Amino acid sequence: MKRTPFSKLSFTMTGNRGAALEMARSRIVLLALVFIVAYTIVGIRLFDVMILQGRFWQDVEDTRAVEAAVQTKAPEAVRRGDIVDRNGAILATSLKTASLFADPALIVDAQETAKALAALFPENTYENYLEKLQKKGRFVWLKRNLVPEEQHAVMLIGDPGLAFQEEYKRTYPQGQLAPHIVGYVSRDEMGQAGLERAFNGLLETEETVLKTTLDIRLQHALRQEIANTIDIFSAKGGAGVIMNINNGDVLALVSLPDFDPNKREKLDGDQIFNRATLGVYELGSVFKIFSTAALLEKFPDALSMTFDAREPLKRGRFTISDYHPEKRVLTVPEVFMVSSNIGTALMGEEIGTEGLKAFYKKLGLLSKPDISLREVGAPLYPRPWRDINTLTASYGHGVAVSPIQLVAAVAPIVNGGLQVTPRFLKPEGEEEVTKTTAMRVYDEQNGEIMRSLMRLVVTEGTAKKADVPGYEVGGKTGTAEKPGAKGYDRKRLISSFMGAFPMSAPKYAVFVAIDEPQGTKESYGYATAGWTAAPTVARVVERMVSILGIPPVGVATAETQEDAEDMGAKTQLIAQPVKGQAL
C-alpha cells in the first residue's frame, strides 16, 4: 500500500499519543507504589506502637507491680545474728531459703497449678491453693522457706505466675536441748520468747554473735538426768539450774516438758511454760537455808541455842508438825540436819516477823528477779504478813518463788556474802566478781558456818544420796505439798534439792525440782526430795566434774581436817543417823 502524506501525519500523531499515554500510566503506577509504601510504613508503625510496644510496657508494668508487691509484703531479707554457747556451739542461726509466692494475674491455669501445689505441699488443700491463685491482688504467699528439692519441684510446674522471694529461716541445731533459754522467733523472724525475744532488737539490726553463758554440755547432762528422774518417778515435770555462784553465769537451765523450736506447730502451754524462771512454787524446806542464815545474822551465839521439838508446835488454831519427828530438844545444826519444821518455826519466832521479812527482802526473795529473760515470775508471799506467817515462811510454807530466784538468793549465803544476779550473756574478759563490783549482803564468817551445815545435811542428814565422794557437795532438801482448791494436797508434791560444791570453796550451785513425783518400789513408796531430787543432783555433779575436768578436793587433807575439827568445836554437834526420810 502506498503511503500518502496524510497517512504519515496520522501515524505520527498516533505515536505521540501512545507515548503520552504510556508516560501517564508509568507516573500513575509510580505514584501508586509510593502510596503503597507509605501506607505500609504507617501500618507497620501502628502495629509496633499499638501491639508490640503495648505488650512490652504492659509486661514492664506487670513486673513493676509484682516487684512492688514483693517489697510491700516481704521486705529485703536481713540475716539475724547467731546465738552461741560459751564455747561457740551454735544454738540459733539463720539459713538462706526461697519462699514461694504467686501473682494471680499471671497464673495461666489456676486449677492445674493448684492441683500440682496440693500434690507437692499436702499441708494445704487443693481448694485452699485455688482460692489463693484466684485472688484479685498481685501477691499472695503460698509456702515459706522451701528446701532446694521443693523449689526445683515448683519450677517444674512451669506456671509463670509462680515466683520465689529470698528469705532467711531461723533454725536451732540443738533442737530440744535449750528452748526455754534460747527461745524462738515468728515466721517473720521476730523474737517470741527467751533470748530471741529479750535481745530481738540487737539480733535483727546487727549481724552479730550473741555469746551466752550456757555450756551446752552441762545443759545436756542436766536435762538428761532430770528427764530420767521424771520417767522413773512418773512425775509431771521438772526444772533445774546450774549457776556459777561467784559471777552469776547460768551454765544450764532446764524446764520439762519442753519442745523443739524447729517444730512448733502443735505445742501446748505446758511445753512452752518456763518452770525455771516463770513458774513460782512453794519449795518447802530449802527455805530453811534462809531462816537459819537469818538466825546466825541476828544472834552471835546462835549455835548454842536449842529448840524443843518434842511436841507439835501450836499457835492459835495452827499446829506445826515434823514429817519424821525426833521428839527431843535440838541444837541449831540438828534442826537444820534433820529438817525439823518445829525447830525452824521456833527459830522464826526468835528472828521476828520484821527481821525475817527484811532478811528475805535483802536476798531478793520478795521482788521479781532482774534477769534478761522476759518470762519471769513474781514471788508470792503473805499480804498482810502476820506473825503466824513468819513461822510457816521460815520453812518455806506460804512463800512461792521461781527456781532461778531461789538459786540467786542462796548464792550469797555460800559464796562469802556477795550478791550476784543470774545472767545469760557473758561479758568478754570477765571471770569472777570481786568485792569492788558486788554488794555484800551476808556476813562471810556466818557463810562459813552455813556451808558446814549444808555439808552436814549431805553427810549425816536428809540428803545422803546427794553425796559425791571427793567433791564436798552440800545443800538442803525440800518437799512441799502443792496447794489446791481444798487446801494442800499430800499426794501432790514438789520435791527439790538446792546443792552447791565444793563446800570448802564453793563455785557451782545445782538445783533440781521434780513436780508431782510418785513413789516407787525401789524408794519404798517415798517421793520426797531425798529419794528424787538429791540423787539427781549427785548424778549431775558427777557428770559436771568429768565435763569440766574438776579434780577432787580430797577427803583427808590437813586443811580440811582442821576445818572439820574447828566446826565441831563451834557446833558441839551430836550427829546421829536420821531415821526414815525427813523433808
Active site residues: 285
d(CA 66, CA 111): 21
Q: Where are the alpha helices (DSSP H) in 186-331?
A: 194-198, 200-205, 216-232, 269-272, 288-298
Starting at the earlier edge strand, list the strands of the sheet with 474-484: 250-256, 237-244, 508-515, 487-501, 474-484
Instruction: Report the C-alpha gap between 133 and 105 in whole angstroms.
Output: 8
List residues bridging with 191 in a β-sheet. Answer: 185
Give the three cell numbers for residue 60.
Answer: 514492664
Q: Are strands 184-185 and 400-401 parallel, antiparallel or unpaired?
A: unpaired
Stated as kind and residue range, the H or E segment containing 187 is none
Cis omega (within 30 of 0) for bond into 502: yes
Q: How far is CA 146 from CA 156, 171, 246, 390, in A?
A: 15, 13, 46, 60
Directed axis angle between helix 288-298 and helix 353-362, to 10°? 110
- For residue 369, say if its preceding peptide bond is cis, omega within 30 degrees of 0: no
- Alpha-carbon distance of 138 to 263, in angstroms, equals 31
Cell 555450756, residue located: 215
Residue with cell 569440766: 548
CA 125 to mean position of chain CA atoms:
33
Q: Which residues does 143 contact at the CB level (< 8 Å), separation at least 6?
A: 99, 100, 121, 150
Residues 414-433 as b or e (16 or more Cβ within 10 Å = b): bbbbbbbebbbbbeeeeeeb
| One-letter amino acid for residue 573 of the chain | L
Which strand (E) or helix (H) includes residue 430? none
Q: Which parts of 60-130 are beta strand (E)?
A: 82-84, 90-102
φ and ψ of 185, to 5 deg: -120, 165
Residues in the chain: 583
- Nearest C-alpha neighbor of 250 from the set 260, 258, 240, 259: 240
If we measure between CA atoms, which residue out of 336, 340, 320 comes closest to residue 389? Answer: 320
C-alpha cell at 22: 504510556
